[in-house]
Amino acid sequence: MYKIGQINRLKVIRETDIGYMLDGKSEEIFLHKNESNFLKLKEGEIVDAFLYFDNKERLAATLKSPLITIDNPSVLEVVDVLNNLGVFLNMGINKDLLLSKDNLPLDRKLWPIKGDKLYVELNVKNRLTAKLIKPQNIFMNNELKINSEKEFFVQYIGAEGMNLYNEDKDLVFVHNSLFRGNYRLGERVNARIINLTENGYSASLIKQKENLRFDDAETLLNALRQYKELPLTAKSNSEEISKYFEMSRKAFKRALGLLYKEDKVKFEDDKTILINGDKNE
């Protein structure tokens, strides 16, 4: 008996004008010549064919090698996004794989975009669809070096943080306190491994303080180049700062101090003012 979503060894029954009919025991399965890898098949020949449903939900076969099967989940790349359906993933054959909007967040800003990647498994009903694999169902046995950095993509976004995964089959958790801003599913990130617990590895998306200080200073400087002054100083509280920047009071003061030491800003009447002559003004 054939298995949909798997590679099956099937016999060629006969050739037609546009393809071949394969013996599925209980029914004949159509293999279009475009799916035959340009091979000239003969009656009685045995082929390794992946079975799927075509765009009209008819059972079909291809000799192309899929990137995913029922028994082998895989990391797949997003190739298209349709708001009324979901996102489509490249599964290595001519037909893309749908990850339904029902399996994606309600907030569309959290959806992956073209080029993002996700770790998914294959589901079979009257069509092949993808399903996101939850972190608790991911087996990870790799050793990661503490303080090392690796590239990941966002696999899951929860109330306490995000789970990241990559094609090396590394899985890490990033707590809400260890990243800034918003991320979407499938987005590529560079994470620093910071700890190993009984629950697995944890990581941070916040850069080392020295690099972060320069990044924050550049953010302030860009705002000052646009507005010339800001109603903020080192004495401003967190609530006042958050109206203008996504950074803590501590990070704001650190960045402001750097700009002051470099003679790029001055303070007057509870305002920070850009000093004339900034080379990028």
Query: HSE of 24 in the Cβ direction (CA atoms, 13 Å)?
Result: 19
Helix or strand holding residue 221 (H, E): helix 209-227
Give yes or no for a contact between 281 and 274, defined as CB atoms under 8 angstroms apart: yes
CA distance 104 to 239: 33
User: Strand runs (DSSP E) across 139-227, as ranges?
Assistant: 149-157, 161-165, 171-175, 188-197, 200-204
Low-confidence stretches of the chain (pLDDT beneath 50): 279-281
pLDDT of 193 reads 94
Give residue-wise pLDDT tens across range 43-75. Answer: 999 999 999 998 888 899 999 999 999 999 999
CA distance 118 to 89: 9
